[in-house]
């Protein structure tokens, strides 16, 4: 039986190519204050390791900044979706950052329609990520990609719970932080 690799917090990773979207969001660790996309070279290496660009593709500082805006837009989108309302500004920022990310519909070898990038460079990468999100939306996996509700964390995780009720990337860490904070606030209100 094949198993799905796990995150350091014990959660299983997102399935299939949706993992690339999860990894992009988690390329910035909010809690640790680190960013794997620290400069254009690190960004190119990150993309190359995931076979999203070829050795001849060149990315500049503007591409890096646009990719970061896209990444943080995705994080904000997932966070807002969890709280019941996606803000127009978030959608506009995501769409603006991916404006040149053109997709075209093709038929694969079995005659099934597929979306594929029709651009190059960063626009190709963003188009590929948007195609992954579109496929995940159709198969129901996109709704299970979430960001941790702990405001100091915001780690993207894949919610495999039966009722899709996961709120934290780790109940043992982030869930306990939130519950302890709520407990202290309730007791401070009673004492005050």
CA 25 to chain centre: 4
What is the pTM for the complete model shown? 0.86
Number of domains in the chain: 1
The answer to whether residue 81 sits within a structural domain is: yes
Provide the CB-side half-sphere exposure for 122 (13 A, CA): 21
CATH of the domain at 51: 1.10.3300.10
| pLDDT digits (tens), the chain, 192 positions | 344 556 666 678 999 999 999 999 999 999 899 999 999 999 999 999 999 998 888 899 999 999 999 999 999 999 999 888 999 999 999 999 999 999 999 999 999 999 999 999 999 999 999 999 999 999 999 999 999 988 888 899 999 988 776 776 755 556 556 555 554 556 566 676
The single residue listed with the structure tokens 């950052």 is 97
Longest dimension (CA), the chain: 69
| Secondary structure of residue 34 in the 3-state scheme | strand
The answer to whether residue 67 sits within a structural domain is: yes
Task: Retrieve residue 24's tokens.
Answer: 């992009």
Taking phi first (over 0 means left), then psi (-120 to 50 degrees means alpha), and beta for anything else, what does residue 95 get? alpha
The answer to whether residue 181 sits within a structural domain is: no
The answer to whether residue 72 sits within a structural domain is: yes
Domain, as residue range, for 119: 18-145
């Amino acid at each position: 039986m094949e198993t799905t690799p796990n995150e350091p917090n014990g959660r299983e990773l997102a399935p299939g190519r949706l993992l690339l979207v999860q990894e992009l969001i988690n390329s910035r660790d909010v809690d640790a204050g680190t960013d794997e996309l620290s400069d254009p070279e690190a960004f190119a290496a990150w993309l190359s390791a995931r076979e999203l660009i070829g050795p001849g593709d060149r990315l500049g500082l503007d591409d890096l900044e646009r990719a970061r805006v896209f990444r943080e837009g995705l994080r904000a989108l997932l966070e807002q979706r969890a709280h019941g309302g996606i803000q127009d500004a978030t959608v506009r920022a995501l769409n603006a950052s991916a404006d040149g990310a053109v997709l075209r519909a093709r038929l694969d070898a079995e005659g099934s329609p597929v979306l594929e990038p029709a651009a190059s460079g960063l626009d190709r990468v963003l188009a590929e990520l948007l195609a992954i999100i579109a496929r995940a939306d159709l198969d129901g996996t996109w709704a299970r990609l979430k960001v941790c509700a702990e405001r100091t964390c915001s780690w993207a995780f894949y919610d495999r719970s039966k009722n899709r009720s996961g709120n934290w990337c780790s109940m043992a860490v982030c869930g306990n932080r939130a519950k302890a904070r709520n407990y202290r606030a309730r007791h401070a209100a009673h004492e005050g």
